[in-house]
Amino acid sequence: MSDQTSTAFILCGALAREVMAIIKRHEWQVDVYGIRAIDHMVPERIAPDVARKFEAIRSRYQHILVIYGDCGTRGALDEFLSQHNLERIEGPHCYEMYGGPQFQEMMDEEPGTFFLTDFLVRGFRGTVWHGLGLDRYPELLDEYFRNYKRLVYLNQMEDAELIAKAGEIAITLGLPLEIRHSGYGLLDQRLCDWMERHGLHHEQGSV
């Protein structure tokens, strides 16, 4: 912790790049602690890993925000946060945080939608392919994705290289690709609201 920092974010590694960009944009003085994104493949790990990180830093900060959705923990994360009077950012998962109302509209339009973000496009092989065991059992591809009808890439940055990679992923999965530019969506607004609510929006300085 820096001498003047009273605030920390504990966040999912899948949101780290974007949250750091938001912190930089607003010039907030916040310390950031990441939890490995691969926990999403075994959601039961998320709450214990957040708990361990919280216990390690709790004595050093006045304000701690957990930047996670429920992310498949089935309420276990929220139960832990409630026990320790901690807040997490609003939203069930990052797709809703980025997509906002558009996310539910897309799900209503086509429930069989598989979503990508910049993070998932960058790390598709390690996070999704390896995480699902498709590097070892590629024959399971059809089994995993047979109920999906389309691939929607919610991109935070309009990056030609990432868009091209998303196209390659779509070919691999055998799904039509749609690209929707979400930017940081509600993630930015919800972080601003939390900082404002706690009187921290004025805390500026180096990250």
pLDDT at 157 (0 to 100): 96
pLDDT at 5 (0 to 100): 76
pLDDT at 189 (0 to 100): 96
Give me the torsion for CA of 117, 107, 182, 66, rounded to 10°.
-70
Domain ranges across the chain: 7-93+186-197, 101-181
- Per-residue pLDDT reduced to its tens digit, 132-161: 999 999 999 999 999 999 999 999 999 999
Task: Report mean pLDDT in 10-residue bins for the chain, 207 residues.
Answer: 76 97 96 94 94 97 96 94 96 95 96 98 94 94 96 97 98 98 96 94 51
Alpha carbon distance 22, 183 (integer Å): 11
Q: Name the pairing type of β-strands 150-155 and 113-116.
A: parallel
> Which residue is associated with the tokens 């690709």?
177
Phi and psi at residue 133, in whole multiples of 5°? Answer: 80, 15
